[in-house]
Amino acid sequence: MELKEYFEKTKGVGVFSTADGDGRVDSAVYSRPNFLEDGCLAMIMRDRLTHKNLLSNPYAVYLYIEDGPGYKGKRLFLKKLGEGQSRELVESMHRHKDFDHDEETRFLVFFELEKVLPLVGV
C-alpha cells in the first residue's frame, strides 16, 4: 500500500516533532499529511512553535500511531522545502468542510520525504 493510500484508509493519531536551531525539541498533535503529485508532502500549520522551529531547522519527524491494539504506525522523516501563505491554497488542502475561518495566519509547508520507518523497531 502506498503512503497516500495508507493515510487515507488508516485511522490514527499523528504527532509532528521539530527542533529549533539550538536543538530544543517540540512535539504537537497534527492531522495527516497531504500528498502532492510531485511526491512531496504538505502540512497546514498555524504560526506557532512548530512552524517557528522550521524557520531555523528544516528537519522534522511525523509519527503516526494507528488506532487499535498494539503499536502499529509509521515514522516519516521530513525536510522542509518551502511554504505558501495563500488563504486559498491552505483552504484547498484542508480536509474538513467546517474549516475554521478565523483570522489566524496559516501556512502550507512543503516537505521532502527522506525516509519512512515503522512505528516500532529499526
CA distance 93 to 43: 9
Identity (one letter) of the amino acid at 87? Answer: R
Going from N- to C-terminal start, the domains of the chain cover 3-118
Give the pTM. Answer: 0.87
CATH superfamily of 3-118: Electron Transport, Fmn-binding Protein; Chain A (2.30.110.10)
Instruction: Inform me whether the pLDDT recorded for 88 exceeds 80.
Output: no
Contact 50, 18 (CB under 8 A): yes
Which of 62-66, 94-98, 104-108 shows the lowest per-residue confidence on average (mean pLDDT)?
A: 94-98
Question: For residue 9, what are the CA distances in angstroms to 2, 4, 66, 74, 85?
Answer: 11, 9, 11, 14, 28
